[in-house]
Amino acid sequence: MPPLIESQVHTSLRAYLRQQGDYSWPHHLTMARLVARALRLGRSALMQTSTSPPVYALSYLTPALLWQGAVVLVIPTLWQEPWGKKVIPQLQVALGTNKEVLVSDRVPSEDFTGVLITSPQNWLSDRLNTITNLAANPNASLKANLGANPEAKFPPGIPTLIDGADDLEPWARECLTQTMPPEDWDQLMAHYPQQREIIRDVKIKLTKSFFDRPPNPYGCCLLDTSEQEVIHNLGSKLADKFVDQPLDQPVDQPVDQLTNKPEFLASNLGQFSQQLAQASAQILWAGVDRQQGYFTLHRTPAEVATSLSKVWQQQPVVFMGRAMDLAVEATVYRQNVGLGGLTCLKFPPDPQTEMIQLYLPDRLPLPNTPQFQAALQQQVMDLLTISRSDTGCIVILVEDSPLKQQTAAVMAGEFGSRVQMEVITPNPAPILVTGWQFWREFHHQFPAPKLLIMATLPIPSLENPLVAGQVAYYKQQRLDWFRLYLLPTALRELQSAIAPARRHQGVVAMLDSRVNHRSYGQQVLTALSPFAKINYLDPRLWELLS
């Protein structure tokens, strides 16, 4: 009897790690066995690694290569080339395997038994479109619909490994968002020449309404009741014009293949507000480009759990990421992405190699007070001065746009051209002033920071119309919008941001005193653990780190 794949994976990976002298992550073998077990049993699992993908990738690549059947590997585009061209070929040589590895947007054939690497957006779009097709044909079973759908890029039942699953909810929301770009109005007028004036008047009315609103840094706004009514009325009028006319495409076509049809555009206008009113689970908003003078309509689901819960029925999935939830069971995360019961595991950071030095002063003004700006800039200046800032990368995270610009200007006056605001620079020791999103997307292109300064917690701002719309949905459902949405989002962002500083046990300065005075402060500290905490500036700290 051949050995279980768990045993084979354990033996092979242990030999490879010894050969490479790689003892940097102590959980490789445990995670690899659990991934192998999930493949063998066809059961889903969720693993929080507390570190970045390059550290733990061997733990899921090894069982994927040793598994006898096909495996779909869903990873962000950033990692596809290094995994496919460097890590996997090197690992195949060591394991003695010759498994076919493809980077593609679909499984090439029914008898494919290799590893297929694809992007989260591509895989989720296909799975969610399959669910849409099923909804259009409710009399068919899920299994029958999957097997008979010629448009499906991924056959049912193939074990799927999703890396970077921390971002699963925003990925799904992006895939489920329906958009009406500016050029669609021209298509509508061309298709309905008799209603051209009505369509043009509605477009002008909406443009004026959106542009009369005060600009905001997010470049978008929620649609109010009157704007929704204007869209709904136009959509209803145009929909009446083709209600008895069959579409020239089959009704089971994926939604994204119908959006260019004028009939769908007209119907979509009505659905935008109609679905919002009926389900209260839709956020209707407009992206506003003031320089170009146009707007784009969007309809985004307020929750994705309902759609995603059907996706997880299609194949066993192993979810992997840095930090999906503070709890081992990932209760809030699973609720938000529609996951039922499954094996959950959480690997804590190694206190010997990944402990940060946390500077958390006691008596700073709260971020929403007039005194905060001056106190922040003084703290940043003091930190840069005593940290011997002539060497090493320093990152200053400031989300508020005016405050970010002012902080960058003040620091540039003192430290010169080393100070850059959201610019990728060849300087090996930059002082980068940035918002959270830029750091999340581009941190891998900077050296690991020896000092990471956070002006405030990354709690999503209610000034962002999309955040406000999301919170409104939670309130309508009588759900705890802070505990289920704002706080989990902030904690995931926080753990992701400090991960590069853990590599060299750097200094992390948290200048948001809400950590000391709010009930959720302990959860923030748990997310930052392990750390050695100080509440005063001591130059000797940097001497120890040198």
Residues 379 and 438 in one domain: yes
Torsion angles phi and psi, residue 155, rounded to 5: -60, 155
Q: For position 141, what pLDDT does the model report? A: 44
In terms of DSSP bridges, do strands 356-359 and 531-534 run parallel, antiparallel, or are they unpaired?
Answer: parallel
Assess if residue 227 is contained within a domain: yes
**Mean pLDDT throughout 257-267?**
44
Q: For position 261, what pLDDT does the model report? A: 46
For residue 367, pLDDT beyond 70 = yes
pLDDT digit string, tens, across residues 386-428: 886 567 899 999 999 899 999 999 999 998 889 999 999 888 8
Assess if residue 403 is contained within a domain: yes
Residues 281 and 339 in one domain: no
CA distances from 390 to 135, 356, 371 (A): 60, 21, 29
Q: For position 144, what pLDDT does the model report? A: 43
The C-alpha angle with vertex 37 and arms to 31 and 38, in degrees rounded to 5, equals 90
Q: For the chain, how many helices (H) and strands (E)?
A: 25, 18
- State the Cα–Cα distance between residues 61 and 74, nearest whole angstrom: 12
Residues 54 and 129 in one domain: yes
Q: Which residues contact 407 (CB under 8 A, 6 or more apart)?
A: 376, 377, 380, 396, 398, 433, 455
Q: Confidence class of residue 248 from pLDDT cuts 50, 70 and 90?
A: very low
**Mean pLDDT throughout 141-157?**
62
Q: Could you tell me which residue, 473 or 133, shows the higher pLDDT?
A: 473
Q: What is the total count of domains within the chain?
A: 3
pTM passes above 0.85: yes
Residues 408 and 529 in one domain: yes
Torsion angles phi and psi, residue 115, rounded to 5: -105, 120
The lowest-confidence range among 32-41, 172-181, 277-286, 451-460 is: 277-286
The last residue of a domain, from among 289, 314, 346: 346
- State the Cα–Cα distance between residues 271 and 293, nearest whole angstrom: 25
Q: Supply the CATH number for residue 67's domain.
A: 3.40.50.300
Assess if residue 341 is contained within a domain: yes
The last residue of a domain, from among 280, 301, 322: 301
Assess if residue 280 is contained within a domain: yes
Residues 471 and 393 in one domain: yes
Residues 182 and 36 in one domain: no
Q: For position 246, what pLDDT does the model report? A: 40
**Mean pLDDT throughout 32-56?**
94
**Mean pLDDT throughout 247-265?**
39
Assess if residue 246 is contained within a domain: yes
Q: For position 544, what pLDDT does the model report? A: 57
Q: For position 316, what pLDDT does the model report? A: 96
Residues 137 and 202 in one domain: no
The sheet with strand 294-301 has its strands ordered as: 178-180, 294-301, 282-289, 220-222
Q: How far is CA 546 from the centre of its chain?
A: 34
486 DSSP assignment: I
Quote the tokens at residue 400: 């508020």
The lowest-confidence range among 99-108, 258-267, 358-367 is: 258-267
Assess if residue 351 is contained within a domain: no
pLDDT digit string, tens, across residues 281-335: 889 999 999 999 999 999 999 999 999 999 999 999 999 999 999 999 999 999 9
Q: What residue has token string 């296909």?
A: 126
Assess if residue 230 is contained within a domain: yes
Residues 235 and 128 in one domain: no
Residues 116 and 215 in one domain: no
Residues 500 and 486 in one domain: yes
Highest mean pLDDT range out of 57-71, 230-244, 346-360? Answer: 57-71
Assess if residue 398 is contained within a domain: yes
- State the Cα–Cα distance between residues 101 and 117, nearest whole angstrom: 7
Q: For position 377, what pLDDT does the model report? A: 94
Mean pLDDT of the chain: 87
Domain that holds residue 241: 178-301
List residues bridging with 299 in a β-sheet.
178, 284
Q: Confidence class of residue 206 from pLDDT cuts 50, 70 and 90?
A: very high
Residues 22 and 79 in one domain: yes
pLDDT digit string, tens, across residues 473-522: 999 999 999 999 999 999 999 999 999 998 888 899 999 999 999 999 99
pLDDT digit string, tens, across residues 89-112: 999 999 999 999 999 999 999 899
Nearest to 155 by CA among 166, 144, 147: 147
The last residue of a domain, from among 346, 378, 399: 346
Question: What DSSP element (H or E) covers 321?
Answer: strand 317-321
For 211-242, b where at least 16 C-beta lie within 10 A, e where not — what string?
eeeeeeebebbbbeeebbebbbebbebbbeeb
In terms of DSSP bridges, do strands 45-48 and 343-346 run parallel, antiparallel, or are they unpaired?
Answer: parallel
Residues 227 and 316 in one domain: no
Quote the tokens at residue 141: 């079973």
